[in-house]
Amino acid sequence: MSKMAVVVGLGFAGSVIARSLAEAGFEVTALEKRPHVAGNMYEHTRLNGVRVHNYGPHIFHTNNQQVYDYLKRFSDFYPYSHRVVGWIDGKLVPIPFNYTSIDSLFAPAKAAMLKDKLTKAFPGKEKCFISELVEHTDPDIKSLGNYIMDRVFVHYTAKQWGVPVEEVDKSVIDRVPVVLGTDDRYFRDTIQMMPIHGFTELFENMLSHPKINVQTNSDAMLRLALHESSGNILLDGAPFNGPVCYTGAIDELFNNEFGVLPYRSTNLVFEDIEKESYQSNSVINYPNSEEFTRITEFKLLTLQNVPDATTILKEYPTAYKPGSAISPFYPIANKSSLLTYEKYKDAASCYKDLYLCGRLAEYKYYNMDAVVERALQISRSIIESKRYK
């Protein structure tokens, strides 16, 4: 009899698992509650011809050659080094804050002194965390740290997360370093590429396999049931004999039994503009002014040549309410939410065929390369497991 698997959710986590299991001989039923695949990576082309990311800008970057090689099977890529600038004290300066930002915002003598002190304080290092500057013993470095903290992080983070920066998990802030040099790329990974025809096409190619049965508009909560006493999972009322890879929200899977896990989300406001170009950079951050956090001009990400038209996106962070039209984007990691997550994880471990993967199922702020790596790892463990031989 052929081996069978169920995958729930067709963002990166679910699509990579579906493809890997299909190639290993599993018949995969792939359930997606939205009308489209690709999860939050989904794109559409506006009437003006500009391709946009429906759920906010996504840029691929990784140090993991294996992850890139895997994705390359489903799309050609073009090199794209992401650069961000932010409005700070009336000027557009690189973010992450770097030596060019210092030169733009301080008088030449002071800028030279600060750069010299930083280079000596962090010999051989290309970046540091903002906390290392704020806590530094040298008063000039500390004062620079406080300046960057205030101008780059405090207000942006309050907008983004709805709480003071002190209440946000340090790992979130540390995603954006301070760069000890003039490298003005947003990421320092060795591989920085984008799929030529967009992410959606990459997903469609990945899911195009005779052993994958993609079912969009299919709410897994109406199809799957957890049978607690036996540890079985039922699909359409019958025990399912195979791996069930779940990438949706873990609290939903357990009917919020231990409470709702908090997420932050974003109201996304697109504007089509009849102009060749809107701004100087693909992304401009507004750490200190405006209600939105950033403006993305998609043409500059997709490198599309669309004359006399462009589309921008303003992101307005907002609380996520389960059941509302907006999607959960960012897990809010704190002591209480992580404790709640652990309860769900324990409950999930009672189901031997249940595999959790991705931002919503593992309640983790994954980057896309990390989630692909994780999905490949889970796929391997399933393929190699004696349970499914």
Q: How far is the CB of 236 from ligand UDP (least distance, A)?
A: 37
Residue 86 found at the interface with ligand UDP (CB under 6 A): yes
DSSP-assigned states of every residue in 132-150: HHHT-SSHHHHHHHHHHII
Q: How far is the CB of 314 from ligand UDP (least distance, A)?
A: 14
Q: Which of residues 260-289 bind ligand UDP (CB under 6 A)?
A: 285, 287
**Residue 353 and residue 388: Cα distance in Å, rounded?**
10
Going by C-alpha positions, the residue among 221, 157, 187, 218 that lies closest to residue 79 is 187
Write the burial class of residue 333 (CB in 10 Å: 0-12 exposed, 13-18 middle, 19+ buried).
Answer: middle
Residue 173 found at the interface with ligand UDP (CB under 6 A): yes
Instruction: Tell me if the bond preceding 79 is cis, omega within 30° of 0.
Output: no
All residues at 6 or more sequence positions from 73 whose CB lies less than 8 Å from its CB, including other chains = none
Instruction: Single out the residue of 157, 192, 310, 379 in contact with ligand UDP (rule: CB under 6 A).
Output: 157
Q: How far is the CB of 97 from ligand UDP (least distance, A)?
A: 9
Residue 105 found at the interface with ligand UDP (CB under 6 A): no
Residue 175 found at the interface with ligand UDP (CB under 6 A): yes
Residue 172 found at the interface with ligand UDP (CB under 6 A): yes
Instruction: Single out the residue of 156, 355, 366, 388 in contact with ligand UDP (rule: CB under 6 A).
Output: 156
CB-CB neighbours of 257 under 10 Å: 10
For residues 292-318, b (16+ Cβ closer than 10 Å) or e, as one string?
bbbbbbbbbbbeeebeebbbbbbbebe
Going by C-alpha positions, the residue among 13, 23, 39 that lies closest to residue 245 is 13
Stretch that binds ligand UDP, among 23-31, 156-164, 211-219, 230-238 (CB under 6 A): 156-164
Which C-beta is closer to ligand UDP: that of 173 or that of 361?
173
Which C-beta is closer to ligand UDP: that of 136 or that of 359?
359
Please give the span between the terminal C-alpha atoms of the chain, in angstroms, as a whole number. 11
Stretch that binds ligand UDP, among 111-119, 154-162, 204-212, 229-237 (CB under 6 A): 154-162
Residue 176 found at the interface with ligand UDP (CB under 6 A): yes
Residue 152 found at the interface with ligand UDP (CB under 6 A): yes
The SS3 of residue 311 is strand
Q: How far is the CB of 166 from ligand UDP (least distance, A)?
A: 12
**Residue 132 and residue 104: Cα distance in Å, rounded?**
22
**Residue 18 and residue 28: Cα distance in Å, rounded?**
6
Q: How far is the CB of 157 from ligand UDP (least distance, A)?
A: 4
Strands in 294-297's sheet, in edge-to-edge order, are 91-95, 84-88, 283-285, 294-297, 310-319, 263-273, 330-331
Q: Which of residues 188-207 bind ligand UDP (CB under 6 A)?
A: none
Which C-beta is closer to ligand UDP: that of 94 or that of 242?
94
Largest alpha-carbon pair distance within the chain?
Answer: 76
Q: How far is the CB of 351 from ligand UDP (least distance, A)?
A: 31
Stretch that binds ligand UDP, among 168-176, 204-212, 216-224, 274-282 (CB under 6 A): 168-176
Q: Which residues lie near ligand UDP (CB under 6 A)? A: 86, 95, 152-153, 156-157, 160, 168, 172-173, 175-176, 285, 287
